[in-house]
């Protein structure tokens, strides 16, 4: 069975819990006391991941780190419909990779702001917030133009991909870093669509979609 | 010169950090009531707290006159910017040797301390915010409970609270009606007692100690003092962090951030009895920091 080295409040770990929930994969969790215990910097954990970062998975003897890399692996191996990561479509694969890298940018801005505010990390909070707003503006425009063309998801497909999963957590948690989303209506509608994907699961700080219509 | 001019708040003990998380030998930096503070431990393990200033790198350089009142209690360092009372409020259960005593976490929250206390006292949100853990629909009713302001102990006490909880703690093995007692023995601290799943004669103790960074920001220190022989520390902490992580966006979206004390400012329901008593108690104390006082 897949083992996920997990911290509940980590958006990067949540990406994997989300995908595994969408795919209906069973897995077991090893809790890592990221805060306040800093267990991801402990000797035993550094043997798993010398970068000292969550998440890590172990599957059939394979140890893999990096949320985006693990999304690629899990979707390639466990998604029989091959929609979350479409291995046979080079253009779509390129797009997915582009937005996975974009998701890393969201982590280094929006997630950094949240770590600063909630866990007292010594980051430049103004730079983190400004960086997140810049990325959110780009994504909001991209999603808005997509909606005009009938596209609901980040990539050019009729279904969500791992790019949507990779971008979702640190956008939906952005207010915890003092980054409001009022000015990004297309992002808000997209968040609502993600929450309505069958198998969606929450984490602390994320609430399920309300009943009724998609938010305007 | 201090930025907080509320004498009641200035004269209180305030928590400024968990002892377990302080790097040995290091100086910890924090903020209390808009003032930058530093603290460290001397050779005897006693905390030393001072107003941060450039060049002061360690305990040895801090003269007696520059030291703020300091104490280690319940696993945290406490200090005061005024003249604090001799004692901190009692939590007798903390001395019981078979309890697990942990700082679940210290989180920064964009909210006033009184709003955070009020949320801690509220049971009505359990099924909606802590779904499948501290509550679940259709068990949404907050049953009648008792609240008193104890004059002797100068604290609020809510008793006979009962709520159906699917998973009251890490030691639970299913849903149960859980008894709660809430104490508010300090304007910014609250202590909760809830039925222990492992010993029906005793109660788990969970306390929230709020460090006011300014009027609209806190550092929330969560003390666990629970009966659980099976789970690792990190599993017990994870449970409490999950709960607090669910409360956090609710707290941060409260408007206004400071707690209005005018009884007409917000409309309470019967379930808010403890919150009504809390607001009245803050008013009686004349507290102005972190609240919107009743207009004169």
Residues of chain B with Cβ-Cβ distance to A7 below 8 Å are: 238
CATH 2.20.25.680-classified regions of chain B? 7-79
Is B137 in a helix, a strand, or coil?
coil
Exposed, middle or buried, A78 (CB in 10 Å: 0-12/13-18/19+)? middle
ipTM reported for the complex, 2 dp: 0.92
Residues of chain B with Cβ-Cβ distance to A29 below 8 Å are: none
Would you identify the CATH topology of the domain A90-195?
Glutathione S-transferase Yfyf (Class Pi); Chain A, domain 2 (1.20.1050)
Q: Alpha carbon B290 to chain centroid distance? A: 15
pLDDT of the residue at B61: 85
Contact (Cβ atoms closer than 8 angstroms) between residue B241 and residue A204: yes
The dihedral over CA atoms of B124, B136, B237, A174, expressed in degrees to the nearest 10, equals -80
Using 50, 70 and 90 to split pLDDT, how confident is the model at B146?
A: very high
Domain boundaries, chain A: 2-78, 90-195
CATH 3.90.380.10-classified regions of chain B? 92-292
Residue A86 CA to residue A31 CA, distance in Å, equals 31
**Does the pLDDT at position B53 exceed 90?**
no
CB neighbourhood size of B10 (10 A): 17
Nearest CA in chain A to B217: A117
Q: At the fourth CATH level, which superfamily is domain B92-292? A: Naphthalene 1,2-dioxygenase Alpha Subunit; Chain A, domain 1 (3.90.380.10)
Is B223 in a helix, a strand, or coil?
strand
Q: Does A200 touch chain B (CB under 8 A)?
A: no
Residue B169 CA to residue B148 CA, distance in Å, equals 27
Q: What is the pLDDT of residues A202-214, one digit of tens each?
A: 999 999 998 766 5
Average pLDDT over residues B162-173: 91
- Give A112→chain B minimum CA distance, Å: 14
DSSP secondary structure of chain A: -EEEEE-TT-HHHHHHHHHHHHHT--EEEEE---TTT-GGGSHHHHHH-TT--S-EEEETTEEEE-HHHHHHHHHHHH-TT--SS-TT-HHHHHHHHHHHHHHHHHIIIIIHHHHHHHH-----HHHHHHHHHHHHHHHHHHHHHHHHTT--SSSSSSS--HHHHHHHHHHHTGGGGT---TT-HHHHHHHHHHHTSTT----TT--PPPSSSPP-
For Cα atoms B277, B278, B283, give the angle at the middle one, nearest 5 degrees: 95
Q: Tell which residue, B279, B271, B276, has the closest CA to residue B123.
A: B271
% of chain A with per-residue pLDDT over 90: 96
Q: Does B29 touch chain A (CB under 8 A)?
A: no
% of chain B with per-residue pLDDT over 90: 85
Average pLDDT over residues A93-103: 98
Would you identify the CATH topology of the domain B7-79?
N-terminal domain of TfIIb (2.20.25)
Tell me which residues of chain B, numbers 218 to 237, contact chain A at a CB-CB cutoff of 8 Å. 219, 232-235, 237
Would you identify the CATH topology of the domain A2-78?
Glutaredoxin (3.40.30)
**Does the pLDDT at position A181 exceed 90?**
yes
Q: What is the pLDDT of residues B221-237, one digit of tens each?
A: 999 999 999 999 999 99
Residue B83 CA to residue B156 CA, distance in Å, equals 23
Q: What is the pLDDT of residues B13-38, one digit of tens each?
A: 999 999 999 988 889 999 999 999 99
Q: What's the whole-number average pLDDT of chain B?
A: 94
CB neighbourhood size of B148 (10 A): 11
Q: What's the whole-number average pLDDT of chain A?
A: 96
Q: At what angle do helices A125-148 and A90-106 cross, to 10 degrees?
A: 150
**Does the pLDDT at position A24 exceed 80?**
yes
pLDDT of the residue at A214: 53
pLDDT of the residue at B1: 46
Using 50, 70 and 90 to split pLDDT, how confident is the model at A103?
A: very high
CB nearest to A36's CB, from B18, B110, B252: B18
Residues of chain B with Cβ-Cβ distance to A205 below 8 Å are: 245-246, 248-249
Q: Tell me if A2-78 shares its fold with A90-195.
A: no
pLDDT of the residue at B2: 54
**Does the pLDDT at position A87 exceed 60?**
yes
């Amino acid at each position: 069975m897949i083992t996920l080295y997990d911290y509940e409040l980590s958006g990067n770990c949540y990406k994997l819990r989300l995908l595994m929930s969408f795919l209906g994969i069973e897995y077991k969790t090893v809790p890592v006391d990221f805060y306040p215990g800093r267990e991801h910097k402990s000797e035993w954990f550094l043997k798993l991941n010398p970068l000292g970062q969550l998440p890590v998975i172990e599957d059939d003897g394979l140890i893999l780190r990096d949320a985006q890399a693990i999304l690629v692996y899990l979707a390639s191996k466990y998604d029989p419909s091959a929609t979350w990561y479409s291995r046979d479509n080079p253009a779509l694969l390129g797009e997915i990779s582009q937005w996975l890298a974009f998701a890393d940018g969201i982590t280094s801005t929006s997630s950094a702001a949240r770590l600063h505010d909630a866990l007292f990390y010594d980051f430049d909070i103004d730079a983190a917030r400004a960086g997140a707003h810049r990325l959110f503006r780009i994504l909001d425009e991209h999603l808005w133009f997509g909606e005009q063309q009938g596209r609901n998801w980040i990539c050019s497909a009729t279904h969500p991909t791992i790019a949507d999963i990779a971008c979702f957590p640190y956008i939906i948690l952005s207010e915890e870093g003092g980054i409001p989303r009022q000015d990004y209506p297309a992002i808000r509608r997209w968040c609502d669509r993600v929450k309505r994907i069958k198998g969606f699961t929450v984490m602390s700080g994320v609430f399920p979609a309300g009943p009724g219509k998609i938010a305007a | 010169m201090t930025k907080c001019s509320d004498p009641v708040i200035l004269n209180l003990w305030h928590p400024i950090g968990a002892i377990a998380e302080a790097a040995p030998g290091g100086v910890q930096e924090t903020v209390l009531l808009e003032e930058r503070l530093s603290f460290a431990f001397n050779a005897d393990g006693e905390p030393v707290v001072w107003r941060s200033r450039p060049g002061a790198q360690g305990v040895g350089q801090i003269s007696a006159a520059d030291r703020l009142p300091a104490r280690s209690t319940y696993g945290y360092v406490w200090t005061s910017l005024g003249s604090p009372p001799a004692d901190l409020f009692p939590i007798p259960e903390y001395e019981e040797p078979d309890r697990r005593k942990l700082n679940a976490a210290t989180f920064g929250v964009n909210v006033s301390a009184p709003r955070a206390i009020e949320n801690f006292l509220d049971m009505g949100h359990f099924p909606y915010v802590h779904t499948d853990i501290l509550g679940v629909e259709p068990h949404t009713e907050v049953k009648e409970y008792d609240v008193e302001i104890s004059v002797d102990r100068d604290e609020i006490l809510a008793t006979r609270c009962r709520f159906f909880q699917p998973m009251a703690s890490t030691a639970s093995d299913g849903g149960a009606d859980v008894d709660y007692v809430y104490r508010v023995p300090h304007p910014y601290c609250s202590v909760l007692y809830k039925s222990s799943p492992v010993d029906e004669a005793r109660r788990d103790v969970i306390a929230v100690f709020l460090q006011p960074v300014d009027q609209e920001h806190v550092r929330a220190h969560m003390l666990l003092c629970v009966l659980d022989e099976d789970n690792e520390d990190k599993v017990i902490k994870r449970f409490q962090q999950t709960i607090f992580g669910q409360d956090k966006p609710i707290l941060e979206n409260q408007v206004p951030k400071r707690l209005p004390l005018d009884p007409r400012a917000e409309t309470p329901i019967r379930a808010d009895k403890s919150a009504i008593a809390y607001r009245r108690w803050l008013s009686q104390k004349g507290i102005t920091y972190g609240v919107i006082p009743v207009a004169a």
